[in-house]
């Protein structure tokens, strides 16, 4: 009997395998179909936004003959750099000006009865991309800021639209912008998607943008993710820098330590050195004082030492008085360092 059961078992196993393969194939096909639909919808929104912007520019040019058009950057790399710089300025300004959750909720279009659609959110996103690609003019920057505020006002719909771009998009610039905006708008639902990109994606620029997004989420669930990123010393320096900055902003002591380590490790090539220093300065409290004292007494670049002296002075750090006295009396120090140290020494009450 056993001899007959064994072939039947093999046949049954094959049948189950074929069936499973068929189900898996259908599931895979459904997933691909859904992804294609998302790509089509984002493409339509992109084209629609660009058409309207082009029409508006044409109208402006027609009304003002002889008005020079904005000269585009000469290469894709330069265009990407211009867009990133503009976008960073917009997002930093918004973070500085942004109100609390209640203020943002009050400004949402949906609160007055209207329900924004995903298509409308995608339209705002692509208009924002076009605005950040501009090479000149305060108007472009102002418009980009307004568009981010409009996205913020759309609430959850904007988050869904941005996650659609990030998950289904095939344009790296668009996905990077979406990743950063998800952080700026603090969309907590984007945590798994951003985490997956940082851990698995091969595009290092996209991983950096996702890390920036994670840094800005500032949710209890995002902090362990940032800690794991920072603990991986072999990861990209800018990815780890964002993780350290996010932890420092959240009050985790490991964040300040991580930023100081990145500043030190980048002394050879300078990659991330200025960003790490600026992050520590932006904390604007006593947590950065030990680091600043070390910089002042070190052989770091004079520009960093001067800024560290300014930080210690602004924080009223009397523990640095002895170090400042040594510097102001040192015949081997540069005149600028001696003068700055002497001024700080007097300000802090040195005798």
Q: How confident is the model at residue 168 (pLDDT cuts 50, 70, 90)?
A: confident
Q: State which residues form the domain around 198.
A: 78-216
- Check whether residue 302 and residue 351 sit in a common domain: yes
Asked if the model's pLDDT at residue 193 lies above 60, the reply is yes
The reply to whether 297 and 333 lie within a common domain is: yes
In a domain, 9, yes or no: no
Place 349 in a pLDDT band, splitting at 50, 70 and 90: confident
* Residues whose CB falls within 8 Å of the CB of residue 22, separated by 6 or more in sequence, listed in order: none
At which of 283, 313, 339 does a domain end?
Answer: 283
Do residues 212 and 117 share a domain? yes
Answer yes or no: is 17 within a domain: no
Same-domain check for residues 319 and 202: no
State whether 189 and 86 are in the same domain: yes
Per-residue pLDDT reduced to its tens digit, 285-302: 999 999 999 999 999 999
Q: List, in order, residues 6 or more apart from 70 with CB less than 8 Å away.
A: 134, 135, 136, 137
Return the pLDDT at 10. 46
Q: Are residues 92 and 181 in the same domain?
A: yes
Instruction: Kindly report, residue by residue over 327-340, the tens digit of the pLDDT.
Output: 999 999 999 999 99
Co-location of 151 and 182 in the same domain:
yes
323 and 262 fall within a common domain: no
Query: Domain end: 283, 306, 329, which one?
Result: 283
Quick one: how far is CA 235 from the chain centroid?
17
Of 50-64, 108-122, 261-275, which gets the smallest average pLDDT? 50-64
Query: Is 39 domain-assigned?
Result: no
The structural domain count of the chain equals 3
Range 76-83 average pLDDT: 43
pLDDT at residue 37 above 60?
no
With respect to residue 304, please indicate whether it lies within any of the assigned structural domains.
yes
Instruction: Tell me how far apart the alpha carbons of residues 323 and 179 are, in angstroms, rounded to a whole number.
Output: 44
pLDDT of residue 109: 42
Lowest mean pLDDT: which of 2-6, 32-36, 49-53, 115-119? 2-6
pLDDT surpasses 50 at 194:
yes
Q: How far apart are CA 180 and CA 216, in angstroms?
A: 8
What is the Cα–Cα distance from 95 to 75, expressed in whole angstroms?
Answer: 30
Q: What is the mean pLDDT of residues 4-17?
A: 48
- Both 83 and 206 in a single domain? yes
In a domain, 126, yes or no: yes
Domain end (from 283, 299, 328): 283
- Considering the domain boundaries, does residue 138 fall inside one? yes
Rounded mean pLDDT, 336-346: 96
In a domain, 35, yes or no: no
**CA dihedral for 255, 284, 102, 126, sign (positive or negative):** negative
> Could you tell me the pLDDT band of residue 46, with boundaries at 50, 70 and 90?
low
Same domain, 109 and 191: yes
Weakest mean pLDDT among 54-58, 204-208, 221-225, 261-265? 54-58
pLDDT at 171 > cutoff 80? yes
């Amino acid at each position: 009997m056993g001899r007959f059961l064994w072939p039947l078992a093999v046949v049954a196993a094959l049948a189950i395998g074929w069936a499973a393969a068929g189900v898996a194939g259908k599931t895979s096909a459904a997933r691909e179909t859904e992804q294609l639909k998302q790509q089509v919808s984002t493409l339509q929104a992109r084209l629609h936004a660009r058409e309207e912007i082009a029409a508006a520019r044409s109208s402006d040019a027609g009304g003002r003959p002889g008005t020079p058009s904005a000269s585009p950057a000469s290469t894709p790399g330069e265009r990407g750099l211009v867009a990133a710089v503009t976008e960073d300025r917009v997002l930093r300004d918004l973070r500085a000006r942004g109100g609390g959750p209640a203020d943002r909720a009050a400004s949402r279009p949906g609160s007055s009865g209207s329900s924004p659609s995903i298509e409308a959110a995608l339209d705002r996103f692509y208009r924002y991309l076009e605005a950040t690609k501009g090479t000149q003019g305060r108007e472009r920057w102002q418009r980009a800021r307004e568009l981010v505020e409009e996205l913020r006002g759309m609430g959850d719909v904007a988050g869904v639209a941005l996650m659609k771009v990030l998950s289904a998009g095939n344009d790296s610039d668009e996905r990077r912008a979406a990743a950063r905006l998800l952080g700026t708008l603090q969309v907590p639902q984007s945590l798994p998607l951003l985490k997956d990109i940082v851990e698995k994606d091969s595009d290092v620029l996209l991983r950096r943008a996702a890390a920036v997004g994670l840094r800005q989420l500032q949710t209890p669930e995002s902090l362990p993710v940032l800690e794991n990123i920072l603990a991986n010393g072999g990861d990209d320096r800018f990815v780890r820098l964002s993780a350290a900055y996010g932890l420092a902003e959240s009050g985790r002591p490991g964040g300040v330590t991580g930023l100081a380590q990145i500043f030190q490790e980048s002394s050879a090539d300078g990659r991330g050195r200025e960003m790490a220093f600026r992050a520590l300065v932006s904390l604007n409290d006593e947590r950065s004082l030990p680091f600043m004292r070390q910089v002042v007494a070190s052989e770091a670049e004079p520009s960093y030492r001067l800024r560290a002296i300014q930080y210690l002075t602004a924080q009223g750090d009397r523990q640095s008085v002895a170090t400042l006295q040594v510097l102001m009396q040192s015949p081997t120090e540069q005149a600028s360092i001696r003068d700055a140290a002497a001024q700080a020494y007097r300000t802090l009450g040195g005798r």
